[in-house]
Amino acid sequence: LAYNCGEGRVIEAITRATIDMYVEDNGKNHNRKQIRKFRKTIKDYQKKRVRFSALYKVYKEVIKWDYKPDVNELLKVQKGLRRQYLPKESREYIRKIISLGFMNNREFITSADNSHLLNIGSTGSIATIYVKGGMHLKNVAQVVGIDYKELTNLNRHIKRYIVPPEADTYPIYIPYSRLTRFNANKGSLKKASYAMHIVKKGDSLGVIGRKYKVSYKLIKKYNKLKSNFLSINQKLIIPVSLEDLPPKPAVYLVKRGDTLDSISKKYKINLKQLMKDNNKKTSLIRIGDKIVINY
């Protein structure tokens, strides 16, 4: 890919895609100053106002985030933008390479891990069923009578394995051999039980999304919110199954001889993250202090 369109363009594409994924999950106002600074550097690089080294510094920063754009993300065409992540020629080049790889390696695409690419695989023929928006694949797996992991392998296009809540009905792929069972039992298919969050002071959709590790846009869609404005004590349904909820934080009572560093090592938590979780600007603690431990 770097040979086809140049190393600089590839680094730019990965950097832009990573920032876009971060903003999509956390909202436009989270880390706003840094995002604006990064995007200005990218724009200046595109207009040849700064050298590649400036872009590369931004790249080194954003790859530390927990976002890894794959080929599908880089091939995405963004509406209204003249400069896509990758040039049109490079996008076509990648598709040709992938197609040739598939043609020459049928075992790859028919393996259990990659069967979702063509909706075929070791399980045999695939059938398409339609379920209501907001459904969790775990519920479907129970009704169909197959292993949850097998179902998720066939439906990797569904984010967090929750059917888009705004859809009236949505297609899901199941083994054809299970179609009769689904038709017989679809009446027992119930909407998933999700967590509920009561809005507190300081909450925002971005903050709540990060707490439950789900996109703020998904929360907004599921609750049919017309804006990002929240009210104290407002109840929000969080589209995360109860089993997938992050564990509740523990509280550690500081004893004689404790330091934040020793506590972080004891619970295998990054010291900076521990300070952030407890709103501490210094490492000073006192006996009797309560330290929140987020696993």
Which amino acid, one-letter code, is at 59? Answer: Y
218 or 263: which leads in pLDDT: 263
Q: So what's the pLDDT on residue 96? A: 72
Q: Which residues on adjacent β-strands are paired with residue 171?
A: 130
Same domain, 199 and 234: yes
User: Beta strands 290-293 and 250-253: pairing type?
Assistant: antiparallel
Same domain, 50 and 127: no
171, 128 contact by CB (below 8 A): yes
User: Beta strands 194-198 and 235-241: pairing type?
Assistant: antiparallel
CATH of residue 225: 3.10.350.10
Same domain, 175 and 211: no
Question: What spatial distance separates the first Cα and last Cα of the chain, rounded to whole Å?
Answer: 39
The total number of structural domains that make up the chain = 4
Which amino acid, one-letter code, is at 127? Answer: A
Percent of the chain with pLDDT over 70: 85
d(CA 229, CA 239): 19
Tell me what the mean pLDDT of segment 90-100 comes to: 72
**Is 19 within a domain?**
yes
User: Exposed (0-12), middle (13-18) or buried (19+): which is 271, by Cβ within 10 Å?
Assistant: middle
Same domain, 68 and 23: yes
126, 175 contact by CB (below 8 A): yes
End of a domain among 164, 188, 212? 188
Same domain, 183 and 226: no
Tell me what the mean pLDDT of segment 204-219 comes to: 84
Give the CA diameter of the chain.
Answer: 66
End of a domain among 147, 169, 188? 188
Same domain, 46 and 66: yes
When mean pLDDT is compared over 20-29, 209-218, 257-266, the highest value belongs to 257-266
Name the token pair of 38.
Answer: 């990064």
Give tens-digit pLDDT for 103-156: 555 555 544 455 445 554 444 588 899 998 878 888 899 899 999 889 988 888
What's the domain range around 198? 194-244
